[in-house]
Each structure stands twice: as C-alpha cells, then as structure tokens.
Amino acid sequence: MFGKLFATLIGSLLLGIGINGFLVPHHLLDGGIIGIGLILHYYYELPTGLSMIVLSIPLYVLAWFYEKKYFFYSLHGLLISSFVIDLLSALRGHFELSILPSSILGGCLVGFGIGLMLRYETSTGGTDLLAQLMTKLIPMNIGALIFAIDGLVILSGLKIVGIEKFLYSFITIIFVGAMTTLTVIKKE
C-alpha cells in the first residue's frame, strides 16, 4: 500500500510539472482525459484537474458496475493527480523552452508519471480506465486502443490549438506513450 501511495504521489508530481511547466505554456495537448481537460482549460479557462474529475464520473460509474478493482485502483490516482495538476498551475511560464523541447520534455514527464502509476497498479483513470474496460469486451491491444483514443482527443482540439500546435501535440503523445511503455516494463 505504501508503494502505491508513493508511486501515485511521485507520478502525480511528474504529471503536474509536465502539464503546467511544458504543455500549457505552449497550448499543447495530451491525449485522454488530461487532453480533454486541457482543451476545456484553453477554451473556457476551467481548471484542468477539476475537469478531469468531472469528465471521469461516467467512466467510474461503469467501472463500479463492471470492474470494481479498476474503480478502486484508479480512484485515488485520479483524485491525487487532479489535485496536484491544479496545485502546480503556478509553474506555468516558469520554464523558458521553445515548443519542440517543451513537447518532448512535457511528454516524457507525463509518460513517466503515468507509467510509474501503472507499474504500481494505479492510474489517473480517464481513458486508460475506458480502454481497460473496453478490452474486456473487444479483444484489442490496450496500447493501440489508448493511442487511438489519444489521437482522437488531440484531433478534437485541432480547431482550438491550430495545426502547428496540433503537430507538436502529436509529438507529445508519442513521447507520453514511449515513456509510459518503458516505465511499465518490469525487469524479469
């Protein structure tokens, strides 16, 4: 239990730094619920973390009825990471990097944070939770499913961020996916 809590706190800290320090200053997107939260932040100036919680409610209702272990494993991850993301919003504008290094570094930090949480069997919930539930119904690779969902999310933000930031956001999700994968891999 201590390991899960520690991984959740460190993972949430990495998410908060990656999002606020590197993605938000350039209006970059991530995939999943984080990405939708960022779209709502850019368009309506809503807090990203709070948006993540509200958007996740239907997914948690599904998890409660169909897969309670996913509900319990990811609820504290969602709440802690959402709180830390909003708490660290003061970091916005403190790192002066251009857009390409920001998209790469932000993607690496977010991916490492998510991967660390997944490695300890917790998560931020969101579309990762949706993908876990969908793989119970559809025999599909969870990584491919998450990548497809992430692609749809950043595509939905194209009108808000524009083509240039959309392309950099695509770089971000590639690094998020790579770092998540590398972090989750356990040594045999």
Could you count the other beta carbons within 10 Å of the beta carbon of residue 7? Answer: 20
Which domain does 130 fall in, by range?
2-184
Strands (E), the chain: none
pLDDT for 77-104, tens place per residue? 999 999 999 999 999 989 989 999 999 9
Q: Please give the model's pTM, rounded to 2 decimal places.
A: 0.91
According to the model, what pLDDT value does residue 186 have?
66
Distance (Å) of CA 125 to CA 25, 34, 82, 89: 25, 10, 10, 21
According to the model, what pLDDT value does residue 188 have?
45
Q: Quote the number of domains for the chain.
A: 1
